Amino acid sequence: MRYVIIGAGVAGYAAIEAIRSVDRVGEIIMISDDPHGYYSRPGLAYYLTGELQDKALYPRTLEDYKKIKFSFHKCRVTRILRSEHALEIEGKPRLTYDKLLIAVGARALPLKVPGSKLEGVVKLDHLTDAKNILKLAKSGKTAVVVGGGITALELTEGLLARGMKVHYLLRGDRYWSNVLDQRESKVVEGRLQAEGVDLHYHTELKEIVGKKNRVSAILLENGQTIKCDMLAYAIGIHPCLELVQNTDLNVDRGILVDEHLQTNDPDIYAAGDVAQVFDPLSGRAVLDSLWNPAREQGQVAGMNMAGRKTAYLKSAPFNVTRLAGLTTTIIGTVGRGRDEDIVGIARGDSETWRDMPDAIAAQSGFDINHMRLMIGEKTLIGAIVMGDQTLSWPLQKMIAGGADISPIREKLMEPEAPVADLIADFWIKWREKVSL
């Protein structure tokens, strides 16, 4: 049996581990044109700030790779030939497969304004981008950041850490408006301003101006000009679907897969950012761009490829990130609508976060420690925890487990309710009841 995985991200690597746990002798080939192989995409934020060095981005060693016995081919797949169970590869002979996993991820949406091809216009898709940013980032120089979500903040903080003066453009009146509420946005913005970031609200980029083919300034729709040496953007991502064009695989916004991560071709699977997976919570197929779901999907796809029938049960989306230096956990459904600074989905995002059913918010705390709960009829639907993370894991378990919070629901809704204390007490009792 020959298993072929296209893509070197966490979904592809998790699939290899899963396959090898079932099939000890089958041939496994991973193909990717990323020169850096498998590394931690979430770690790039800390690489930009200097908190992590190159080596720390790699979660596995050569010894780990040897143990699971697979070969890595650094090349680019140009075409999938379904009828022949084969791949066309640039500059190499065709490669046949028995089972194929497409785990090619997503890429940053391009910036469509005049001057976007100038040197100094940067994005943060992968390690090559991060290295390019570090090469161009010079202390004392000026950068402009355009976009929303987690990646725009990663860029802002990374450039600040490198000694650059940073302007951050927001189309609307606050940061990440479809996930954070107004108070949460303002906390993040206040922390950025305290670090010296100039925030520009209701501002839209019109043109990037160059001098000797390098960024020298930007022109805004309101006629204002900002002199700068770099323009960093994060306006959303799009699944890499080029390979599945003309293959008759079912595609919507991503590659559509069933609960086994299987496409409409029984020998082809998809996982990670490129896959559009059925979500039982919302009753529709959604896109995630989160490390954990990608890893879980890769694992399930690998088990099924190796003949071990396994269903992927999408749990409540969960992400621990850092917003303006403040550790923040986002669980389940917490927002609604769209963000003016993002087209579609952002990296480190989940569409499920914004599919809010009827829910009421209960808040606790500020300035540094804050918790917001989305309370449904009988259960917690979502939560945001900023600062102190003591309750983030209990909240994740209760939201994922559908804990019936009826006994404390009314108390949670009271003005000035001690939300953290109520949740902590309830968690102890619920954990004993479900034997966690």
> 70-90 burial by CB neighbour count: b if 16+ within 10 A, else e?
bebeeebbeebebeebbbebe
Per-residue pLDDT averaged across 122-142, rounded? 97
Give 124's pLDDT tier (boundaries 50, 70, 90). very high
Q: Which residue has the higher pLDDT, 197 or 401?
A: 197
pLDDT single digits (tens) 102-115: 999 999 999 999 99
Q: Are 288 and 303 in contact (CB under 8 A)?
A: no
Both tokens assigned to 40:
């931690």
Q: Are 271 and 103 in contact (CB under 8 A)?
A: yes
Q: Tell me the C-alpha distance between 93 and 16, whole Å.
A: 23
Q: Are 256 and 295 in contact (CB under 8 A)?
A: no
For the chain, the straight-line distance linking the first and the last C-alpha, in angstroms and rounded, comes to 39
pLDDT(34) > 60: yes
- Map tokens 């189309």 to a residue: 171
Q: Tell me the C-alpha distance between 258 and 432, whole Å.
A: 35
Give 357's pLDDT tier (boundaries 50, 70, 90). very low
At 64 the pLDDT is 86
pLDDT, the chain, mean: 90
Give 352's pLDDT tier (boundaries 50, 70, 90). low
Among 133-147, 189-203, 269-283, 367-381, whose mean pLDDT is lowest? 367-381
Q: Which residue has the higher pLDDT, 312 or 61?
A: 312
Torsional sign, CA 148, 348, 100, 253: negative
Residue in 304, 270, 288 with CA at minimum distance from that of residue 101: 270
Q: Are 157 and 49 in contact (CB under 8 A)?
A: yes
Q: Tell me the C-alpha distance between 216 and 230, whole Å.
A: 8
At 313 the pLDDT is 87
Q: Quick one: CATH architecture of 110-235? A: 3-Layer(bba) Sandwich (3.50)
**The domain 318-434 is classified under which CATH number: 3.30.450.20, 3.30.390.30, 1.20.58.1610, 1.10.620.20?**
3.30.390.30
Give 227's pLDDT tier (boundaries 50, 70, 90). very high
Model pTM greater than 0.85? yes
At 436 the pLDDT is 58
Which letter does DSSP use for residue 235 in this model? Answer: -
User: CA distances (Å), 221 to each of 173, 183, 208, 263, 300, in order?
Assistant: 16, 28, 11, 44, 47
Task: Collect all residues with Cβ–Cβ distance below 8 Å to 223 and sequence separation of at least 6.
Answer: none
Q: Do 110-235 and 318-434 have matching folds? A: no
Residue in 300, 298, 305, 334 with CA at minimum distance from that of residue 317: 334
Q: Tell me the C-alpha distance between 243 and 5, whole Å.
A: 13
Q: Are 274 and 287 in contact (CB under 8 A)?
A: no
At 343 the pLDDT is 60
pLDDT(225) > 70: yes
Give 148's pLDDT tier (boundaries 50, 70, 90). very high
Highest mean pLDDT among 14-18, 284-288, 326-330, 362-366: 14-18
Q: Which residue has the higher pLDDT, 66 or 299?
A: 299
At 366 the pLDDT is 46
Q: Tell me the C-alpha distance between 420 and 259, whole Å.
A: 36
Per-residue pLDDT averaged across 137-142, rounded? 97
Both tokens assigned to 124:
């943060």
Range 2-107+239-305 classified under CATH 3.50.50.60? yes
Among 188-202, 294-308, 386-400, whose mean pLDDT is lowest? 386-400
At 63 the pLDDT is 86
Q: Are 347 and 363 in contact (CB under 8 A)?
A: no
Per-residue pLDDT averaged across 39-66, rounded? 91
Q: Are 128 and 19 in contact (CB under 8 A)?
A: no
Per-residue pLDDT averaged across 122-139, rounded? 96
Strand residue runs (E) in 260-311: 268-270, 275-279, 284-286
Q: Where do the structural domains in the chain lie, given as residue ranges?
A: 2-107+239-305, 110-235, 318-434
pLDDT(61) > 90: no
Both tokens assigned to 38:
């498998």
- The CA-based diameter of the chain, rounded to the nearest angstrom, is 68
Per-residue pLDDT averaged across 37-61, rounded? 92
Beta bridge partners of 152: none
Nearest 10 degrees: CA dihedral of 429, 432, 433, 436? 120
Among 121-130, 226-235, 340-349, whose mean pLDDT is lowest? 340-349
Counted residue by residue, the chain has a size of 436
pLDDT(349) > 70: no
pLDDT(367) > 80: no
